[in-house]
Each structure stands twice: as C-alpha cells, then as structure tokens.
Amino acid sequence: MSKKGKILVTGGTGYIGSHTTVELIEQGYEVVIIDNLSNSDAFIVDRIEQITDIRPKFYEFDLLDTDKLDNFFKENADLVGIIHFAAAKAVGESVEIPLHYYRNNLVPMINILEAMKKYKIENFVFSSSCTVYGQPDELPVTENAPVKPAESPYGYTKQVNENILNDTIKSGANIKGIALRYFNPIGAHHSGLIGELPKGVPNNLLPFITQTAYGLRKQLSVFGEDYNTPDGSCIRDYIHVVDLAKAHIVAIERLIDGKNKNSYEMFNIGTGNGFSVFEVIKSFEQSTGEKLNYKVVARRAGDIEQIWADTTIGNNELGWKATKTLDEMTLSAWKWEQNYRKDLN
C-alpha cells in the first residue's frame, strides 16, 4: 500500500473522476475505482495507467448493489477516504426521467455512508454542484447564499445528498465530510489521453462544440439568446477539469490531516468569472482556428440564466485556486476530441 494511503473514487472512469484519479496517483495515493460504466468506458483505466505508469484497481458494478458494495468494503477496509462522483448528471435529461435520477443519485449515497459507518471509514468528499443554489438573488454566489428550490431533479438530488451527508454526520456517525459545489467543468488533461466522453448526444456545451467542429454533429444549438445577460445567452463559471481535480485532492487531505474546521463543510469551486455561451464559442474559434456552425434555438427546460462563483472562502480555506484560462480550457477539449477520434480510426 502507498505511504499516503488508499482512496476510493466512485465514478472514477468518468470525466471528473478520471482526472481526479490521475492527480491522486501523481500525489502518491493508491486509488481504487468503482464504476458501472453507464456513462464512461473501461479503456479509461488504460489511459490513466498510460499517464501515471500506475494502474488503479477497477471494480465494475453498480452502487445500488449492496452485496457487491459490502464485499468491496471487506476487501478494502483500509481505505483512508472516499471521493464520491458516481451519479447521473444531465440537467435536461433529469427533467425527462426524474425517477432514474432519484434512484441512481440518492440511494448510492445512503449505501456508501452505511458502509462507511460499518467499516469505520471517516473521510468523505462529495461531488456537489452549483445547481444547489438555483438562480441566486445575488451574484457572484457565496457559500452562504440560500439553497433555493432546485430547477431540475438533478439539482434537487445534489441538495438532498448534501442533506443526507450533513444529517448522517450530525447523527453522531464518525464521519467527516466536504461537499464541493462546483461550477461548470470543461477541458481535458494536457496529455490528450482523457477528457469528457459523453455517451450518445452530449448534454454539456463543450463536448457538443468539439463534436460539431469535428463533423460528428451538424450544428450546435444555442439554447436562447433572450436572457437578461449582456449578449442574451446563458452565463456560467467554467473551470478547467484539472484545476477541479486538484481541489478534490486538497479537500480529502484537509479531512485526512484533520484541518477541517467543522465535521461538515462545503466550498464553491470555480474561477469566479462568468462566461456566456457566445463567449465560449468565440474562445473555441480563437484558440483552435476552427469555425463553428451554430444556430440559436428556444430555451431549454431546467436551465438557469446566469451563475458564477464567489471563490473567496474556498480559495482561503483550501489554499487552492483555479489557474487555467478559458482559451486553455477550450483548446485542451479540442485536442482531446481530435486524439480520441483519431484513435478510433
């Protein structure tokens, strides 16, 4: 076992999970992954090994399966912490199939926390989301902003999971938890070996942009240009996925080292800058030299108008800061798309 200890990453072959796994391994941790591959591919484990020269142990099963989960914890009772990403994550899709989101996103959280109590594992980082804020009254949004009624079942599952974690900790369970409320992760690892790989039609802006530029999609749809924003399109706080992955390492180490100030904490993880959909398109065209075919269509259900983070508390408490520019984010996403498609041919 590595001298730094063993970390479980659920959803570790997924987009953020795979980048976090790479950062953990490079920081000297042993990583084990649980993933059911519902929105990822097993070859990502090979890619993680290519980048780090170390192959994380991979368990393919669903966190709804309590027998398999219990067997996993019996085998890995020496875990020092868990970073929990595994979840369905598309806002629009959650409006269409809410029951899938409630079952798939809430029950695994309960199952993992019960296993943590049983096997006496203390440290837990939860992949939360800025969707817990709904459309904030004031921008930028701070951690003290009220959690408003969610705009989508996806956003609601993040709110409920935060409550489940907090209530479990308050109940006297010997668990310490951090919820990282992150904004919009984009971009890819500088190696071009891992990146965002949605199954089917992408729900997120950047993969739709890169797939359109590559010729896989005829046209990019911009959902609405009549929002109350400078150019009429929605505004988000986009953060490079590697910056985001590094925030998870800092968070789990805060818990392992006992530097947390409360047994449950939450932090915004973003850049503190808001960019509109049109600004992201412009950045992509500038950084890559590719022209995008796009058209404006009607607004999409569940989308909020604008949100970006006040990152002061997270920056100060975690000693972490996002470093990468929007152009770096869009260019890295394009390099990943090209690499991935080239390897398929």
Mean pLDDT of the 182-186 span: 96
> Does residue 180 share a domain with residue 32?
yes
> Does residue 45 share a domain with residue 144?
yes
Q: Does 298 score more than 80 pLDDT? A: yes
Residue 209 sits at the vertex; the CA angle it makes with 204 and 215, to the nearest 5 degrees, is 130
- Residue in the block written with tokens 């999970």: 17
> Does residue 182 share a domain with residue 301?
no
- Give residue 322's pLDDT: 98
Q: Cβ–Cβ contacts within 10 Å for residue 297, how many?
A: 13
- Give residue 304's pLDDT: 87
Q: Does 2 score more than 80 pLDDT? A: no
Out of 154, 182, 227, 340, pick the active-site residue: 154
154 is catalytic: yes
d(CA 54, CA 253) in angstroms, rounded, equals 21
Q: Which two tokens stand for residue 292?
A: 């995008």
Q: Model confidence at 90, in pLDDT bands (50, 70, 90)?
A: confident
Mean pLDDT of the 234-254 span: 98
Q: Model confidence at 200, in pLDDT bands (50, 70, 90)?
A: confident
Greater confidence (278 vs 89) lies with 278
> Does residue 263 share a domain with residue 120?
yes
> Does residue 247 share a domain with residue 227?
no
> Does residue 111 share a domain with residue 227?
no
Termini Cα distance of the chain = 39
d(CA 345, CA 341) in angstroms, rounded, equals 7
DSSP lists the bridge partners of residue 178 as 125, 265
> Does residue 223 share a domain with residue 144?
no
The region, left, alpha or beta by phi > 0 then psi within -120 to 50, assigned to residue 66 is alpha
Give the chain's mean pLDDT.
96
- Give residue 67's pLDDT: 98
CATH number, domain at 85?
3.40.50.720
DSSP structural state of residue 130: G
pTM of the model: 0.96
Mean pLDDT of the 299-318 span: 93
Mean pLDDT of the 42-47 span: 97
- Does some domain include residue 51? yes
> Does residue 213 share a domain with residue 98?
no
Q: Does 306 score more than 80 pLDDT? A: yes
Residue 165 sits at the vertex; the CA angle it makes with 162 and 167, to the nearest 5 degrees, is 105
Q: Does 174 score more than 60 pLDDT? A: yes
d(CA 36, CA 47) in angstroms, rounded, equals 18
Greater confidence (247 vs 304) lies with 247
- Number of folded domains in the chain? 2
Q: Look at strands 235-236 and 275-276 and give their pairing.
A: antiparallel
Q: Which domain holds residue 279?
A: 205-235+273-314+325-344
- Give residue 344's pLDDT: 80
Q: Does 237 score more than 90 pLDDT? A: yes
Handedness of CA 256, 261, 266, 271 (dihedral sign): negative
Q: Give the CA distances from residue 266 to residues 102, 122, 178, in Å, rounded to whole numbers and listed in that order.
A: 22, 17, 5
Mean pLDDT of the 182-204 span: 93
